[in-house]
Amino acid sequence: MKSLLLATLITLPAFAGPSVNATNKMGLKLALEAAQKEKGNYMVSPLSLMQALNLAANGTDHGTRAEVETLLGADLAILNADSAQLVKKISLSPEEKKTLEAQNNWVHPAVVGIHNSIWNTNGATDNARFTFSPEFKNIAATHFNAESKTLDFKKAESVKAINGWADKKTNGLVKEIINADTLKDLLWIVMNATYIESNWSESMRLVTRSVPVFTLENGEKTTPAMIEGKQYIAHKEFEGGSVVASLPFSSAPGKAQLEMVIYLPALGTKLDSARAKFFSHNFWLNSVQGILAERREEARIVLPKFSFDTSVEMKKDDEITKNLGLNFLFSNFADFTRMATADSYTSAVGLIKQNTRIELDEKGVKAAAVTIIGGVRTTSMPVEPRLSLTVDRPFLFAIVEKQSQAILFAGSVLKP
């Protein structure tokens, strides 16, 4: 069996539903777009992005709501319920892990933490107060288990509090998500933190003799720290020599079944071409999901040990924002009226940002992401139309069925 070297990593949610479908479609697009900006290692979290986006979308109304439902492929009420079911199914806290391990010495389940929060500014410094509506807070708490916090976004301690929340929920992997210069311009924040930690299903060890050579895309040879071991994998080799393999992490019955999906391009394949294939939703639907269900075979696995951080940021009119189909949320005409009380400023998305970190070694994996969506005050003023019509004298009228142009009613008004 040939050795498999790491190409990339994605965690596939262990649940089928509209929330997962939206997560994968949006997340694979994000992964491909991030590849255009990052010159080295990178990782994104489709699940973290979708959690934050789904939660924030509940603040939209009218045309904006219809557009976001079209983008996500389902009604928000359905997505809310489905997302809550997914999180409940795969989440496991460190405390729950310890309890399961105490009951069975052979079971080492994966820790999966998915946390949400919403934050608004009280306007104490600049009178730019923003208040979440009771409806939005109720949805955030009921379907996303989201904490709600009110701070003065102009103060330094608010930055510390928000970053402290991210740090705590990711067990120290993501220590910072926002700075004072960015926070001071925001009215509200929707935030998700996603964290996983798991051992390999079968033990791995550091390679200490005859370390394999790792060949970079430019042909340069390197010898990074490598790990090896026997794993029971599912795999498929495609025409041309590319390979997809799925390596299991340790799990417990009824809990999250985490897998590491590796795509090893055929020799000579350009990375841009490989990314376009692997980060294709059709490829995942037609190939990867089928491979995950295939019979397992014992294989010797060798792959690099690694750790790195990635940050992806989206603002209005950025190429990545437009290519993901999210630019309409940044528009001054975006309707977030369901998010706020009537006395709050009107707002639109001003920033979407995701910070991630992964650490993979012979013990297993730790990975975390924090996604933040920040709302800013809209600056557009109502524009007076050039045409004006005042009906201030007797008039004629007709009521017409538009498609057929059939006149249903016709008459005149002489004295209203």
pLDDT at residue 381 is higher than 50: no
Residue at 332 is within a domain: yes
Asked whether the predicted pLDDT for residue 412 surpasses 50, the reply is no
Is the separation of the CB atoms in 49 and 30 below 8 Å? Answer: yes
Q: Which CATH number covers residue 219?
A: 3.30.497.10
Asked if the structure places residue 402 within a domain, the reply is: no
What's this model's pTM, rounded to 2 decimal places?
Answer: 0.87
pLDDT at 27: 86
Residue 406 DSSP symbol: E
Q: How far is CA 17 from the centre of its chain?
A: 16
H or E, element range at 28: helix 18-37
How would residue 375 be classed by pLDDT, with cut points 50, 70 and 90?
very high
Q: Is 302 contained in some domain?
A: yes
Percent of the chain scoring above 90 in pLDDT: 45
Average pLDDT over the chain reads 84
Q: Detail the DSSP E strand segments found in 238-363.
A: 243-248, 259-264, 297-304, 306-314, 347-360
Tens of pLDDT along 142-164? 999 999 999 999 999 999 999 99
Is there a domain that residue 416 lies in?
A: no
Instruction: Read off φ and ψ for residue 47, nearest 5 degrees.
Output: -65, -45
For 268-357, where are the alpha helices, taking DSSP H only? 271-278, 281-283, 289-292, 319-323
Residue appearing with tokens 């998010």? 339
Residue 397 lies in a domain: no
DSSP letters, 208-238, are: -SSPPPEEPTTS-EE---EEEEEEEEEEEEP
One-letter identity of residue 168: K
**Is the residue at 404 inside a domain?**
no
pLDDT score of 228 more than 70: yes
- Do 199 and 227 touch, CB atoms closer than 8 A? no
Mean pLDDT of 187-209: 93
pLDDT of residue 317: 95
Name which residue leads in pLDDT, 79 or 409: 79
Residue showing tokens 């940002």: 353
Q: 408 pLDDT exceeds 50?
A: no
* Residue 16 buriedness (CB in 10 A; 0-12 / 13-18 / 19+): exposed
Q: Is residue 406 part of a domain?
A: no
Q: How far is CA 187 from CA 123, 191, 376, 385, in A?
A: 9, 13, 5, 30
299-332 pLDDT, tens digit each: 888 888 888 888 999 999 999 999 999 999 999 9
Q: Whole-angstrom Cα distance, residue 335 to residue 63?
A: 7
Give Cα separations from 111 to 49, 114, 196, 255, 257 (angstroms). Answer: 19, 10, 5, 9, 11
Overall number of domains in the chain:
1
| Domain span including residue 187 | 1-391
Band of pLDDT at residue 57, cut at 50, 70 and 90: very high
Helix (H, G, I), strand (E, B) or coil at 416: coil
CB 287 within 8 A of CB 234: no
Q: How far apart are CA 402 and CA 372, in angstroms?
A: 44
Q: Please answer whether residues 166 and 135 qualify as being in contact, where contact means their C-beta atoms are separated by less than 8 angstroms.
A: no
Ranges 11-15, 279-283, 286-290: which has the least confidence? 11-15
Determine the average pLDDT of the residues in 278-291.
Answer: 83
Residue 29 has pLDDT above 50, yes or no: yes
Q: How confident is the model at residue 119 (pLDDT cuts 50, 70, 90)?
A: very high
Is 70 exceeded by the pLDDT of residue 380?
no
Name the band, by pLDDT with cuts 50, 70 and 90, for residue 169.
very high
Task: Tell me whether residue 413 is in a domain.
Answer: no
Query: How sure is the predictor about 4, in pLDDT bands with cuts at 50, 70 and 90?
Result: very low
- 40 pLDDT exceeds 50? yes
